[in-house]
């Protein structure tokens, strides 16, 4: 029997007006829900320009707590529309401690938990190590801590079991595999990935293809659905050539087949995902069965050659 869940992803631009970005995202979520989406994911750091292009301490002011106004806005919206919403934003955990986070809100408006980006890049115009502490893998022993914050997680929402991994996480098969082993049926990858304008002509197509291929491989290797919303638009940065966010958001099934694809303009994707395909795929491609878990100890080492 088919078990259809409609997945939606929002591909959009972001301006310096944070309130306007939230207002526009609310409208996009409403449109996705009107088109039948039941689980909807926004892009990485959706409510602000990609501020990591340079080191500027005042940009810490963009951050807000996990129980702040942005999450509250989408809690009310999720409850009203009876949809699950993944909300990626800049989180202020404490003075001087900031995270690249995504809060998962169930269809009744309740917060199921918050994922904090585990892999933090550092590249020209991607100064993320300055702005973000990586997600923690050890258990939080505070008695009032929410169990949905720590390391790789899966959330049992009204419509499906979902995992969230953020941008740079999408290049790591370990992250996808662990999240799939925790029971995720859909992996969401909210993203902010861009071309350096000077490199676009030479490397642009290959970069998009690599980005999509890596994530489709996670879908295939783990027998899960993958949904990846990226941002779009050129964002300037004084003294540089800026960044051109290339969009190309997509939703793929456990065979890695595209169910929906976007271009380089703002767009809402909605795709019907038959969760029954997970069982069918894994019966024919039993990668989880054939794993040699007794032989994988070396994966925990940083490097092995020459030892």
pLDDT for 137 equals 80
Q: Is the confidence at residue 113, as pLDDT, over 60?
A: yes
Report if residue 55 sits inside a domain. yes
Residue 140 pLDDT level (bands cut at 50, 70, 90)? very low
- Choosing from 41, 44, 53, 267, the catalytic residue is 44
Instruction: Indicate the helix (H) or strand (E) that contains 4.
Output: strand 4-11
Report if residue 298 sits inside a domain. no
Secondary structure E strands in 133-238: 155-156, 161-164, 186-188, 194-195, 225-228, 232-235
Report if residue 293 sits inside a domain. no
CATH number of the domain within which 149 lies? 3.60.110.10
Global pTM reads 0.95
If DSSP codes are grouped into helix, strand and coil, which group holds residue 301? coil
Residue 307 pLDDT level (bands cut at 50, 70, 90)? confident
- Choosing from 41, 53, 117, 127, the catalytic residue is 117
Report if residue 72 sits inside a domain. yes
Report if residue 299 sits inside a domain. no
d(CA 120, CA 22): 25
What's the Cα-to-Cα distance from 277 to each of 165, 273, 282, 283, rounded to whole Å? 22, 8, 8, 10
CB 226 within 8 A of CB 215: yes
Q: Is 44 a catalytic residue?
A: yes
Q: Is 158 a catalytic residue?
A: no
Mean pLDDT of 40-48: 98
Per the structure, the complete domain to which residue 96 belongs is given by 4-136+143-284
Q: What is the pLDDT of residues 219-252, one digit of tens each?
A: 999 999 999 999 999 999 999 999 999 999 999 9
Torsion angle of the four alpha carbons 123, 171, 207, 304, in this order, in degrees rounded to the nearest 10: 80
CB 240 within 8 A of CB 55: no
Mean pLDDT of 290-306: 94
pLDDT for 86 equals 98
Give the angle 30-32-118 at the CA atoms, nearest 5°. 100
- Choosing from 167, 235, 267, 273, the catalytic residue is 167
Report if residue 294 sits inside a domain. no
d(CA 146, CA 140): 8
Q: What is the pLDDT of residues 187-218, one digit of tens each?
A: 999 999 999 999 999 999 999 999 999 999 99
Q: What percent of the chain has pLDDT over 90?
A: 93
Mean pLDDT of the chain: 95
Report if residue 162 sits inside a domain. yes
Report if residue 121 sits inside a domain. yes
Tally the domains of the chain. Answer: 1
d(CA 195, CA 75): 33
């Amino acid at each position: 029997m088919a078990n259809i869940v409609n997945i939606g992803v929002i591909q959009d631009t972001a301006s310096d007006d944070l309130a306007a970005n939230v207002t526009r995202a609310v409208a996009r979520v409403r449109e996705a829900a009107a088109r039948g989406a039941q689980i909807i994911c926004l892009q990485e750091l959706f409510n602000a320009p990609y501020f990591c292009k340079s080191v500027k301490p005042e940009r810490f002011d963009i951050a807000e707590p996990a129980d702040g106004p942005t999450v509250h806005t989408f809690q009310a919206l999720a409850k009203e529309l009876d949809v699950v919403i993944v909300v990626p934003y800049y989180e202020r955990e404490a003075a001087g401690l900031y995270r690249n986070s995504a809060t998962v809100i169930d269809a009744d408006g309740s917060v199921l938990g918050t994922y904090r980006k585990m892999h933090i890049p550092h590249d020209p115009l991607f100064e993320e190590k300055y702005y973000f502490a990586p997600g923690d893998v050890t258990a939080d022993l505070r008695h009032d801590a929410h169990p949905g914050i720590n390391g790789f997680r899966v959330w049992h929402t009204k419509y499906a079991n979902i995992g969230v991994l953020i941008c740079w996480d999408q290049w790591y098969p370990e992250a996808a595999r662990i999240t799939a082993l925790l029971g995720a049926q859909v992996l969401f990858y909210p993203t902010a990935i861009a071309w350096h304008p000077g490199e676009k002509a030479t490397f642009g197509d290959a970069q998009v293809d690599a980005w999509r291929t890596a994530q489709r491989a996670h879908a295939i290797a783990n027998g899960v659905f993958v949904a990846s919303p990226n941002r779009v638009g050129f964002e300037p940065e004084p003294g540089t050539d800026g960044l051109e966010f290339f969009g190309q958001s997509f939703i793929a099934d456990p065979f890695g087949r595209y169910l929906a694809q976007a271009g380089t303009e703002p767009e809402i994707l909605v795709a019907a995902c038959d969760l029954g395909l997970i069982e069918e795929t894994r019966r024919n491609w039993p990668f989880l069965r054939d794993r040699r878990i007794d032989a994988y100890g070396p994966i925990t080492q940083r490097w092995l050659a020459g030892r």
